[in-house]
Amino acid sequence: MNRLVFDRRVLTHPTPWRPQWRRSRDDEETIDLAAFAITHERLGTTVRIAASGELDIATSPLLREACAREQRNGADVILVDLSDVTFMDSTGLHALLAACRGGDQRLRVILGTAAARVIDITELRDTMPIIQG
């Protein structure tokens, strides 16, 4: 009889679960995690939400919350910029789909290489308002 032995180490995530908010300028707000950042920039009634780093299970709720907040605040155009995202998993894709859900005509998406790869693998490019990438 073969016996399997498992290591009982506790796995911890390197990034904290609670975001730390800081104001960097009057028109810019940043959430910093170890390998992820979301920046909000407002110019009139246009809002740019730029994500950088790894968009995964720990950080995708931050993107979802940022998009939902701007949709509630009534911006005319919401630009979700994922050009600096270095990794995106299915939870990041789900956050992006949640932002696009409901046919919100105000939303526009810019994809980087990592995000475009996930979108293309899942064949969802035609379901999103992608303007670049």
Residue 7 φ then ψ, to 5°: -80, 135
| Structure confidence by residue, pLDDT tens digits, 103-123 | 578 899 999 999 999 999 999
Whether residue 43 is contained in a domain is answered as yes
Q: What is the pTM of this model?
A: 0.72
| Structure confidence by residue, pLDDT tens digits, 78-110 | 999 999 999 999 999 999 998 888 657 889 999
Whether residue 11 is contained in a domain is answered as no
Closest CA to 60 of 95, 30, 90: 95
| Structure confidence by residue, pLDDT tens digits, 16-31 | 444 444 444 555 555 5
Whether residue 52 is contained in a domain is answered as yes
Q: What angle do CA 50, 53, 59 make, to 5 degrees?
A: 85
Whether residue 114 is contained in a domain is answered as yes
Round to whole Å and give the CA distance between 93 and 78.
Answer: 17
User: What domain range includes position 98?
Assistant: 31-132
* Residue type at position 55: L
Closest CA to 82 of 112, 116, 118: 112
Number of domains in the chain: 1
Could you report how far apart the first and last alpha carbons of the chain are, in Å?
Answer: 54
Compute the residue count for the chain: 133
Round to whole Å and give the CA distance between 21 and 33.
Answer: 10
- Domain containing residue 83: CATH number: 3.30.750.24
Whether residue 40 is contained in a domain is answered as yes
Whether residue 24 is contained in a domain is answered as no
Whether residue 106 is contained in a domain is answered as yes
